[in-house]
Amino acid sequence: MAKSVCPWWLGCFLTSPIRRLWQNPKEILRPFVTDGMTVLEPGCGMGFFTLELARLVGDQGKVVAVDIQPRMLQGLNRRARRAGLGQRIETRLAEEKGLPTRDLSGQVDFALAFWVVHELPDVERFFADLHESLRPGGKVLVTEPRGHVSQSSFTEELELASRNGLHVSSRTETRSSFSVVLERA
Ligand SMILES: C[S@@+](CC[C@H](N)C(=O)[O-])C[C@H]1O[C@@H](n2cnc3c(N)ncnc32)[C@H](O)[C@@H]1O
């Protein structure tokens, strides 16, 4: 069955400052991202997390932000320009299946997949592509919305990650989300 993709106009709500009251991008990302890193963000939407990723990687780093909807990427590019962070963010349109990241093989230090895995048509292929793009020891923060995604569906996602060489190194749960950090051995 086809999975439903978050409509582009919801992208505006997802970047609302009110969201920071329960999901603060700086606090969530700071433990994982440092100066000079290469970061991949599949399903970036209009960039609620992307701008903070760009601040954390600094002048020497870069963020590759991927989305399946051109209007999400247009919104992100507009916000990035306004924030003076356009130079650090490269936006890419996702392919029908899989990530457009073959050129990044073994180069990504950290990836963020926030509220996106349940929307993907081929989750196994997604984790295989992520594994390919990460350097050894590279990490992925995967967060899924509770309620929308059941505990058992989340466990199935993690099994697909593990089958593709990405192993759970830590887990957390909040009222709104399930999260894990996956690591490439
Ligand atoms: C619920 S939104 C979350 C956006 C962002 N991560 C956030 O937390 O604000 C999910 C995003 O994933 C994108 N998406 C869905 N399927 C995708 C695919 N196959 N490849 C890349 N992005 C996809 C949607 O277009 C949407 O922008």
CATH number at residue 56: 3.40.50.150
Distance (Å, whole) CA 50 – CA 1: 30
The tally of domains found in the chain comes to 1
In a domain, 176, yes or no: yes
Q: What is the pLDDT of residue 3?
A: 76
**How far, in whole angstroms, is CA 122 from its chain's centroid?**
16
Q: Which residues in the chain show pLDDT less than 50?
A: 1
Mutual angle of helices 151-163 and 123-133, in 10-degree steps: 50
In a domain, 22, yes or no: no
Q: What is the pLDDT of residue 147?
A: 87
In a domain, 24, yes or no: no
Q: What is the pLDDT of residue 65?
A: 98
In a domain, 5, yes or no: no
In a domain, 2, yes or no: no
Pocket test for ligand 1, best of 51, 53, 117, 119 (most atoms within 8 A of CB): 119
In a domain, 12, yes or no: no
Q: What is the pLDDT of residue 2?
A: 55
Pocket test for ligand 1, best of 28, 67, 179 (most atoms within 8 A of CB): 67
Boundaries of domain holding 163: 29-184
Q: What is the pLDDT of residue 161?
A: 98
Q: What is the pLDDT of residue 1?
A: 41
Q: Tens digit of pLDDT for each residue in 78-99?
A: 999 999 999 999 999 998 788 9
